[in-house]
Amino acid sequence: MNTKNQLWCTWSGIAFAILFTVGFWPISHFMPPPSPTMSAAEVAGMYSANTNQIRFGLLVMMGASGLILPFTAAIAAQMKRMEDAPSILTYLQLASGTLGAVFFIVPCVLWSVAAFRPERAPDLIHLMNDAGWMLFLMPFTTFIVQNFAIGIAVLGDKSAQPVFPRWLGFFNFWVAVLFVPGGLLTFFKTGPFAWNGLMAFWVPFVVFFTWYIVMFVFMRKGILAQAAGRPA
Amino acid sequence: MANMAAAQSDEHIPGEAGVWVFILGDMVVFALLFGAFVYYRAADVPLFASAQLSLNQSLGALNTLLLLTSSWFVVHGVEAVRARRAALARGMLAAAFACGVGFMLVKYFEYGEKLRAGFTITSNDFFMYYYLLTGIHLLHVTIGMAVLAYLWQRLRSANDIDAQLSAVESGASFWHMVDILWILLFALVYMMR
């Protein structure tokens, strides 16, 4: 049994959360997000004022996002212990978690395109900035599929000593619900459903990283219990 | 089921404890949404007050009545499971489900009325909240009805009705939450002056 590898993969989720936040917040200054109401000139001004800082922050964020993959694989390894063959929810989680990483990596590239030639026409920078933020916060679907796959597997774990506590399954359903409002940002430039608003940004952002910490704690517990050959 | 022991202890939590993580979490989300509504309303009271006049309070009250009735049926469904009367319990859950269908029909006519009058999600801030809050709530009604149907099916195929109590209580707790949230929503969006 690869206890060591499993633990490394689990810790990589924490590394992702920290590195991504550092790139996003203190380096790129993308926190709080630039308002969707900013004009093309204002957005272009933001990219030309902090060009290299934004480039470097995005590089850190993009690099950090690769760490989503080992974390997703570690979740799959624990889920496989909950499920009877064929472990379809495990596969579903692996697929949706992997696809989810795309929505962290590709926005970083789009924002990098905006920062690549900050002297170009402001309208084009405006467009690329919109594309980055919308790709980053709007696609809730893969995350919901991932959370539901985990939640259903946890509740379906009928062994006498389940891998995860049952409430963690309901917690995953709750997290899924909180990602839905992000999809509404396509209608709004101000208010709680705009991409810098309470329901489209702040709540999903906080909940997403809380989910990483909570999952980390119980995955680590589950892996150590598995290694010791005792129930979690 | 492993959680039956917990369900029958002295400090009784309805349903399994885990489902309350979801229910309380969901209520936090609605608290944020209601808070946002009140916050933005305070910024433009005349707009919200005048737009509110175009809502149909009778249909809103009818929906309140439908959900309260459905909760009454659900309570009696849980009682019936405790009394080991599976057929009665299924009848009660079916009646609650029918109230849910009624709720959706009323909403269908209410939305139709608003859209024909030219009020859409982008008309103004009030209607943005009106459509979003009622829409997110309607999604919860749909999930709740799916849960009721699932429980109905479980009660039909189960040999041991006692083993169904925890699941029925969990689903019932969720349904009551959907009911309570509607009452708050009705008071805030339709009634608050």
- Tens-place pLDDT, residues A30-87: 999 999 999 999 999 999 999 999 999 999 999 999 999 999 999 999 999 999 989 9
Q: Which residues of B touch A181 (CB under 8 A)?
A: 136
Interface contact B22-A174, CB threshold 8 A = yes
Q: How far is B67 from chain A (nearest CA, A)?
A: 22
d(CA A34, CA A192): 14
Q: Can you give the pLDDT at residue B6?
A: 45
Please state the rounded mean pLDDT for residues A89-106: 98
Handedness of CA A227, A229, B1, B4 (dihedral sign): negative
Q: Tell me which amino acid residue B106 is.
A: V
Rounded-to-integer distance, Cα A68 and Cα A10, Å? 10
Q: What is the pLDDT of residue B10?
A: 61
CB A17 within 8 A of CB A212: yes
User: Cβ separation of B132 and A160 shorter than 8 Å?
Assistant: no
Among A215, A224, A142, residue whose Cα is nearest residue A179: A142
**What is the C-alpha to C-alpha distance for residues B44 and A190, in angstroms, rounded to an integer?**
15
Radius of gyration of the CA atoms of chain B, in A: 19
Q: How far is B1 from chain A (nearest CA, A)?
A: 9
Q: Which of A115, A107, A126 is nearest to A52 (CA)?
A: A115
Please give the interface size between A and B, counted as residue pairs whose CB atoms are below 8 Å apart.
52
Across the interface, whether the CB atoms of B16 and A166 are under 8 A apart is answered yes
Taking every pair of C-alpha atoms in chain B, what is the biggest distance, in angstroms?
59
pLDDT tens figures, A128-176? 999 999 999 999 999 999 999 999 999 999 988 899 999 999 999 999 9
In angstroms, the CA B94 to CA B88 distance is: 10
Tell me the C-alpha distance between A157 and A151, whole Å. 10
Q: Which two tokens stand for residue B155?
A: 């009660």
Shortest CA gap B122–chain A (Å): 8
| Grouped pLDDT means (10 residues each) for chain B, 193 residues | 49 88 93 94 94 95 98 98 96 98 98 96 92 95 97 93 94 97 97 88
- Beta-carbon contacts of A131 under 8 Å, excluding residues fewer than 6 positions away, are A110
Residue ranges of the alpha helices (H) in B83-124? 86-116
Instruction: Confirm if A13 and A216 have CB atoms less than 8 A apart.
Output: yes
A171 touches chain B (CB under 8 A): yes
CA distance A188 to chain B (A): 8
Determine, for residues A173 and B22 on separate chains, whether the beta-carbon distance falls below 8 Å.
yes
Report the pLDDT value the prediction gives residue A229, as an integer from 0 to 100.
Answer: 84
Q: What value does the mean pLDDT of chain A take?
A: 95
Residue B75 CB partners (closer than 8 Å, separation 6+):
B172
Q: Determine the average pLDDT of the residues in A101-121.
A: 97
- B32–A184: do the CB atoms touch at under 8 Å? no
**Over residues A86-101, mean pLDDT:** 97
- Tell me if chain B has a CB within 8 Å of the CB of A191: yes
CB contact under 8 A, B18 and A166: yes
> Is A171 within 8 Å of B25 when comparing Cβ atoms?
yes
Mean pLDDT of A200-211: 94
The enclosing H or E element of B13 equals: none
With 70 as the cut, is the pLDDT of residue A1 above it? Answer: no
